[in-house]
Structure 1
Amino acid sequence: MNNLDIFHMAVKNLWRRKTRTFLTVLGVVIGTSSIIVMLSLGIAMDQSFKEQLSQMGSLNIIEVNNYGYYVESGSGGSNGKQVKLDDDAVSKFKKIPGVEAVMAAKSAYLKVASGKMVAGVPVYGIDPSVMEAFDFKVEEGRLLLPTDKDTLVFGKQTTRRFRNPRLRNENFNPWDGNAPQVELISSKLLLTTDMEYGERQDSRVQQDSNYKPPKPHNVKGVGILAESNSEKDYGVYMNITALERLLEEDRRVNPQRTSRGEDRDADKYERIDVKVRDIQQVEAIQEKIKTMGFQAYSLTDMLKSMKETSKKLQMLLGGIGAVSLFVAAIGITNTMIMSIYERTREIGVMKVLGANLRDIRKLFLLEAAMIGFFGGVLGMVLSYGISLILNKVGAGFLGRGMGGSNSVSVIPWTLAAAAVVFAMLVGILSGYSPARRAMKLSAIDAIKTE
C-alpha cells in the first residue's frame, strides 16, 4: 500500500466510529487547551514584570556608584586602591566591549524662578552629546547641545512644582491638578543655590552673619521632555560644565560654606550610567564593572528574580494542564486498543493479502497521530477563545490585569504551534504500543476471529 491508501483507510476507520473518535479528540482538546491557557497566564505575568520595570527605566542601563576601594590584582592583598567616579572611570567603561554609551552625572538641588513663580528642583549636569543614546525625548523644544551653556531642559512633571510664595497658600499641592502653568521655554528664568530666593521675607530663616546670598544666574529653557514615567520626569538637565561653573561661582561668594564639591578626594561625579547595546550582555558587563571596585546596579537584577518566580509559576501551571493531556493520552491508547480488537479479522485479511507489517503499524500510528493533531488544533482554537474571555472579563475584576499588565493571558504563536505538535506526538506515543500489537497478530488466528 502506498501512503495515500494508508491515509484514506485511516480517515475511513476514524469516521466509521465517529462517537468514540469525537470523545477521544475531545479529551485531547481539553488537555491541550489546559496546557496553553495555564502557560499563557505565566507568560502574561512575565510580560507584566517587564512592563513594570521598563516604566522604572531602561533594562539596558547600569547605574554605577562608588562606596569604597578594591585591591588590585598582583598586590597580594596588601595595598588597596580607592576607585573614583571620574573621567578615568568613564574612559574605562567606554572601553568595555558591548557598551553603547556612558553618561556621567552631577546633581544639585537648586531653585528656578520665572517671575514670581519659583520651584525647588533637582538639577542634573550631564553630557549633552549622549542624551539621545539614553532615550531622552522632547515633547516641546529641543534637547541640550554640546555648545549650550546656561540652558535647561525640564522634565515633564517639573512644571507642577512652581508656585507663588507671596500668595498665602499653605496647602499647596503640586499634584492636585490646579498647579499654575508656567511657560518655561519662552520666559526669562533665574537659577540659584539660594533656596530662600523669592520666598516671603518673614519666612527666611536666621542666616549666618557672614552669609551673602549668591547672585541668581540667568538661564533659559530650551525643551520639555516627553513623559516617561521615570525619574526623568522630575528633574532638570543642563550641561555638566555649566553646572560645575555655576556651583563654583556660588562657592566663591561664601567660601566658608563647606560643600561636597570642595573635597579634593571626593568623586568628580555622583553617578555614572552605562548603556549596554544588547540586553543579554547587561549582567556580564555589570559583573565586570563590579570587579573594578564599583557598585553597579541595573533593573535586570530585579528582572532576574521576577523571572525565577515566573518560571516556577509556569512550571506549576503547566504541570496542572499536563495532567489533563495525560488523561487524554490514556484515552487515545484505549481507543486504539479497542480498535484492534474490533478490527482483528480485518488486520488478518490485510496480512494474507500481502500487506507489509510496517504499513499496518503506519496505519495505526497515523490514526493516533490524527487524533492528536485535530485535538491539538481544536484545543489551540479553544485556548484563544478562553484567553480572549479572560482578557476581557478577568481584567475588569483585576484592575489592569495580573501584575499591572493589560493582559491576563498571552498566547504567543510559538506556544500554540508547540502545543499542537506536542499533542500530535502524544497521540503517536499513545498509539505506538497498540500498533506493535497489531503487527504481531497471527494472520491465521486473526482470520478465524469472529
Structure 2
Amino acid sequence: MTPGDTSAALARATDNCAKELIHLPGSIQPHGFMLVLDPHSLAVLQVSDNVQRWLGEPAAWWLGRVLPELLHGGEQVVRLLAERASEEHKPVHVADVRFAVGTYQGPPIALMVHRYDSVLIAEFEPASDVLAAYASLYPLVRTFIGQLQGADSIEQVCAQAVAEVKRITGFGRVKAYRFDPAGDGLVLAEQADEGYPSYLGLCFPASDIPPQARALYCANRIRVIEDANYVAAALLPALNPLTGQPLDLSHAALRSVSPVHLQYMRNMRTLASMSISIVVRGRLWGLISCHHAEPRPVRFQSRTACELLGSVLSLQIESMELQVRNQRLLGVRQQIVQLLSAMADRDSVRDGALALSDTLLGFVQARGAAIITASSCDLVGDAPDRQHVLALTDWLAERGGHEVFHTDNVSRDIPNLPALGRQVGGLLAVAISEIHSHYLIWFKP
C-alpha cells in the first residue's frame, strides 16, 4: 500500500466514524441486562438477549410480561419507580431488586431507569452495599469541593479532579484534557500508575472524537466500558415497538459503543475506560478520561460520585474563566485609554503607539507588532523581518476592504507568504486609514 493509499484509507475511516449512528447501536454491554418497558402498562417491549445468562429464561419469554409481576415486592418497586423516574433522561437508581421468576438465585440486582424515546429503559447491574459505598465516597467528594476553594488555576483544579477520580475508581491512569476551538484536546493533568505511558502535555487530534460522539458526551456526562473485548448483547426485537425505529440509547449506562472505539482502546493497550464530561456554558469543554490495562467494573455509586465531581469541576472552571475574562476586559479597557491618550497627546497614532510599546503588545497579548504608515514601517518587540512585514502589507492592501484580519495559522491562511509563516504563527491586522495602506499589525509566535 502506497502512502497515498494509506492516507485515503484513513480519510475514509474518519469519514465513516463521523457518520456512525452511535446512539442507535441496537445492543448493550453485557455486564448488565436491559428491559424496555411500556411507560403506561410496564409491559416488556424489548429485552437484551443476554437476559437468559442472568435470569435463566430466554429473551422471548420476557416479552409482554409486566414488571410488577416479575419482581419480589413488585408493587413497591412500581411506587418507587413513579417517584424517582422523572421526565429527565438521566438514569436513576430505583432499588435493588430480586426477580420472582427465572432461575436466578444470587444477590439483589441494582435497577436503574430513565424515560426516553417514548419508553422506560430499565437497566440491571450487580448491586453493592449502597450505604457503605456512599459513606466511603462522600468524604472524598467533600474533600475535593473544599480543595477547589484554594485553587489558583484551571490546571490546578483539573489536577485535583484527576486525583479524586483516581482515588474513587482505582483506574491505572486518569487524565484531564481540554478542547481548543478546533476540537483538539490538550492533556492538562494526569496521574498514572507505574507501567502506564504518560500523555501529560500531549495533544489528541479532533478526529479522535467525531461530532456525534461529542454531542453524546454533552447529553450523557459519564460513560463506562468495563471490558473492551466484550461481546455485545443485542436488543430483541431490534426496533422500538412504539416508534418502529431503533431504540435511542443516548442516555443508557449500558449502551454499547462503536467497534472502532473498542479497537482504539485495544490499540492503546486499554481494556477498561471511563469518561467524565466537562461541560461549560453548554459546550463540551473537555474530558476526564480513565484507562485501565485490565477489565474493571465501576458500580453506579462510584459513577454517581464521579458525575457529581465532574459537575462541580465544570462549574468551577466556568467561574474561573469568567473571572479571567472580566479581568482581561478590565485590563484591555485600561490599555485602550492609555493608548488613545498617548496618541491624542502626540497627535499621531504612530508616535503614541511607539511611546507605549509595552502597552501596544499587551493590548492583544502579542510578542511583536508593526506600525505601517505611508512613510515608515516601525517594528516593536519580536516582529518578523521588515521585508516580510512589507510583503504582508501589500497582501493586505490587495485584499481590499478595511475589516480586521486575523489568523491563528499564517502558513494556512496566507500560503503565498511562506517566509512569513516560518517566522510567526498568528497575526492580527487593523487598517487605520480608509485611503492609504496604513495598518497596526500584531504577531504571535
**TM over 0.5, shorter chain:** no
Please tell me the TM-score bracket, short chain as reference.
Answer: under 0.3
Per residue, is there more strand in 1 or in 2?
2
Per residue, is there more helix in 1 or in 2?
1
- Give the alignment's TM-score, normalised by structure 2: 0.23
- Give the alignment's TM-score, normalised by structure 1: 0.22
Which structure is richer in relative contact order (CA contacts within 8 A, separation 6 or more)? 1
